[in-house]
Amino acid sequence: MWSDNESEVDLLGFDHLVTVITSIIRNESLLPATIGVYGDWGSGKSSLLKRTQAVLETDKDVLVLSFNGWLFEGYEDAKTALMGTILDEIASKRTLVPAAKHLIVKLFKRINVMEVVTRTGKMGLKGTLAYAVGGLPALGLSSASDIATLASELGDKVKEVKLEDAELDKFLKEDASQNLRRGIREFRKDFEKLLKETKLKTLVVIIDDLDRCMPDTIIETLEAIKLFLFVPHTAFILGADERLVKYAVRRRFPELPGERAEVGRDYLEKLVQFAVRVPSLGRSELETYINLLFFAKTTSPTSDAFKKAQEYITSSSAGSFLDVRFNYGIAKSILNDEIPPELAEDLNIAQRIAPVLAVGLNGNPRQCKRFLNTLMMRLEMAKAKKVEMKQRVLAKLMLLEYFKPEFFKRLAELQAAQQGQPKELAIAEQNNAPKNSANTTTSNGQTGDDKDETETSDKSKIASKGKATSDDIKKSSSAKPNPSPLSSEASTSSISTWLSDNWFTDWLKSNPPLADEDLRPYFFFSRDILQGSLGGALQRMTPQAQEMLKELFQESEAARNIAFKKATEMSPGDASAVFQAISERVREEEDLGDEKSALNRLNDLVAVRPELFSQFIALLNGIPDGNLPISIVFKIANLAKENGEINPTLELLTKWSTSATSTQLKAAATKAIKRLKDL
């Protein structure tokens, strides 16, 4: 398995991004500068910043300070917290001459005064603006008693830095707006002097995970940089999702005129001079990344072999940028034709799953790594139970689990009722078998006939010495027994909804075939998903998907309509995760006919994401018809007409028209059938 933390080892091919960031910082004519490193959650921003820091730290005259944005989340005033932390770091990492020590103390005094005024006046950024314009009265401190209270609290605070009473009195009596403006100017002047006294060529401050903070913390951090710290020979690197920072601006300044999206954009462009955007990985890039993950697991990232692999990728010609730049053949060459069987199998897996993950997970490295970690954890759990599972079979089933969860759950029920080998799946594979699929050659230089697995595809994959364990697995997997086997006709009919889904038919055709596999152990180790906990869906939802889930259930219809428009831009993986999360709410709700019900929200989501329609039909098939509102009949009929998914819809409606417990549902289904057949 692989760590989910940032890494200095470049597995993503981001060396060119590191170069552009360091070139800006090393060009003194461009400083001071704020560089925004923008990218989606899990896109590799933190690793890029880690690698950038490692390169910059090779210069002894450059001081690099790295902070996590969450560091300031618990502070009432993030500005002073950031400024104080930077001073602490400078003092601890540089030898200070007497002049520098004096400046450090002086700057700390100013920070403490600002912090007390902020806390007492409850200023924040808006309070600071009011304070600058109207002084203490603008903060509601107009009376003598209010000012006396402030003086008392401020006096207690500044004792820590031995601020003289005369100095405090002067601070309170002077015009507040002038005091604040002068305070900013003097802080910047003293901060600039401090950098000169410490003999620093450049101070680089890296702030990561800024987008995970509350809107107030994000804005105050940006303001601290611009107002107090933006002096010559400084560079600030901010790692964030650009969309979430813009969202924070809109939340913080809702009263500002103009189009709200432009407010966020304009504000960010004013504070950030250089934007470096981390792109999503394409299919070939993701396959290269997965191959390197497996190669690093086998050889170690510090080994000579791995370094050779990185050198090969770096030296690749411009014409190969869109190709897989590290694969089985290259690994075999680096290892002098002595490639371990396990690595060969891993690279074969990478070739098969990379195209699906690249599209479904929007080329997101973190989600890809989490998929692979789940794969490896299940294999380890099986090994601990003395149960053997085929890695390629598990990987194929997990793709179905990630991208078509309703189909995955239905397949789990079918295999449990038929001793791990559902006839429906066998018939579907037979009817959708790829032509001339035998003995094809993969781009990794391996044969694609899966001969090694076919020879061992008998039902004895559960180790004989783990017989007791296999019995446990069979019992657990057979929670919903159905002793009567299905006929071929019934089997085909029961999964016709699946076969109308192009993604599913492509999945069926992919190797390895599953018809001869005993699927019970594979589903046994995915019980956490099958038990239907919402946590399973949330664990793999990006922050954008979680935000979308929240927005889809807003009270305002206008706000929901905006959210549904945004839903069209979600990646397939995010759309599937949101669908799964709402589906779990549908199963838990008592009144599915309520206007605010999850069923209605799911219907609206499917209307803008038609690729989810077949899963919607599968979900409805599994809900007791007595719980369904009459309105759902006409809603799915309308969706069927819009999407052209007539046949699977007719099958569901026919089921309701003949066997529904509700006479109203029967009548509505009969009427809808007539309308669809008349099209």
Which pLDDT tens digit goes with each residue over 648-664? 888 889 989 888 888 88
Taking phi over 0 as left and psi of -120 to 50 as alpha, with beta for the rest, 258 belongs to: left
What is the torsion angle, in degrees rounded to the nearest 10, for the CA atoms of residue 553, residue 559, residue 562 and residue 564?
20
Which of 609, 587, 599 lies closest to 553, judged by CA? Answer: 599
- CB neighbours (10 Å) of residue 396? 24
Would strands 234-240 and 62-68 be described as parallel, antiparallel, or unpaired?
A: unpaired
The position carrying tokens 């020979």 is 233
The answer to whether 233 and 191 have CB atoms below 8 angstroms apart is no
Cα within 13 Å of Cα(528), Cβ side: 10
Q: What angle do CA 519, 525, 531 make, to 5 degrees?
A: 100
Which of 24, 114, 39 lies closest to 75, judged by CA? Answer: 114
pLDDT at 460: 33
Among 219-228, 268-277, 414-423, whose mean pLDDT is lowest?
219-228
Which of 297, 280, 245, 360 lies closest to 42, judged by CA? Answer: 280
- CB neighbours (10 Å) of residue 370? 17
What is the C-alpha separation between 502 and 225, in angstroms, rounded?
51
| DSSP-assigned letter for residue 485 | P
Confidence of residue 340 (pLDDT cuts 50, 70, 90): confident
Q: What are the residues whose beta carbons fall under 8 Å from the beta carbon of 94, sequence distance 6 or more?
A: 63, 100, 198, 199, 200
pLDDT at 481: 37
Instruction: Enumerate the β-bridge partners of residue 203.
Output: 63, 234
Average pLDDT over residues 412-437: 82
Average pLDDT over residues 460-471: 38
| DSSP-assigned letter for residue 342 | H
**Residue 596 dihedral angles phi and psi, to the nearest 5°:** -90, 10
590 vs 491, residue with greater confidence:
590
pLDDT greater than 80 at residue 182: no
pLDDT at 27: 92
Judge if the upstream peptide bond of residue 572 is cis by omega within 30 degrees of 0. Answer: no
pLDDT greater than 60 at residue 159: no
305 vs 171, residue with greater confidence:
305
Average pLDDT over residues 29-52: 89
Which of 342, 350, 330 lies closest to 290, judged by CA? Answer: 350
Residue 156 class from Cβ within 10 Å (0-12 exposed, 13-18 middle, 19+ buried)?
exposed
Alpha carbon distances (Å) from 516 to 348, 411, 415:
21, 15, 12
Q: Please, where are the H alpha helices in 315-404?
A: 328-334, 341-360, 365-384, 391-403
| DSSP-assigned letter for residue 226 | I
SS3 annotation, 424-437:
HHHHHHHHCCCCCC
Average pLDDT over residues 19-24: 94
Confidence of residue 397 (pLDDT cuts 50, 70, 90): very high
What is the torsion angle, in degrees rounded to the nearest 10, for the CA atoms of residue 537, residue 538, residue 540 and residue 544?
120
pLDDT at 77: 66
What is the C-alpha separation between 567 and 578, in angstroms, rounded?
10
* Kind plus residue range of the DSSP H or E element containing 490: helix 488-494
pTM over 0.75: no
- Give the pair of three-digit tokens for residue 15: 């060396």
What is the C-alpha separation between 238 and 236, in angstroms, rounded?
6
Which of 14, 505, 497, 579 lies closest to 279, judged by CA? Answer: 14
What is the C-alpha separation between 549 and 557, in angstroms, rounded?
15
pLDDT greater than 80 at residue 417: yes
Confidence of residue 258 (pLDDT cuts 50, 70, 90): low
The position carrying tokens 């690793």 is 47
Highest mean pLDDT (candidates 316-325, 390-399, 438-447, 552-561): 390-399
Name residue 303's amino acid.
S
pLDDT at 319: 53
566 vs 533, residue with greater confidence:
566
pLDDT at 55: 92
Residue 65 class from Cβ within 10 Å (0-12 exposed, 13-18 middle, 19+ buried)?
middle
Which of 335, 264, 281 lies closest to 305, judged by CA? Answer: 335
Instruction: Enumerate the β-bridge partners of residue 35.
Output: 237, 274
3-class secondary structure, 441:
strand
What is the C-alpha separation between 450 and 333, in angstroms, rounded?
23
pLDDT at 357: 82
pLDDT greater than 60 at residue 315: yes
Name residue 233's amino acid.
H
pLDDT greater than 90 at residue 235: yes
pLDDT at 118: 55
pLDDT at 10: 73
Q: What are the residues whose beta carbons fall under 8 Å from the beta carbon of 125, sequence distance 6 or more?
A: 216, 219, 220, 223, 252
What is the torsion angle, in degrees rounded to the nearest 10, for the CA atoms of residue 144, residue 150, residue 153 and residue 159?
-100
pLDDT at 491: 42
452 vs 304, residue with greater confidence:
304
pLDDT at 251: 74
- CB neighbours (10 Å) of residue 165? 10
The answer to whether 471 and 409 have CB atoms below 8 angstroms apart is no
Among 20-29, 44-53, 458-467, 515-524, whose mean pLDDT is lowest?
458-467
What is the C-alpha separation between 407 and 648, in angstroms, rounded?
14
Q: For the chain, what is the mean pLDDT?
A: 76
The answer to whether 611 and 572 have CB atoms below 8 angstroms apart is yes
Instruction: Enumerate the β-bridge partners of residue 68.
Output: 208
Rounded to 10°, the helix 341-360/365-384 angle is 130
Taking phi over 0 as left and psi of -120 to 50 as alpha, with beta for the rest, 135 belongs to: left
pLDDT at 206: 92
pLDDT at 248: 78
- Give the pair of three-digit tokens for residue 89: 């770091």
pLDDT greater than 50 at residue 422: yes
pLDDT at 262: 66
pLDDT at 493: 47
What is the C-alpha separation between 669 and 403, in angstroms, rounded?
29
3-class secondary structure, 442:
coil
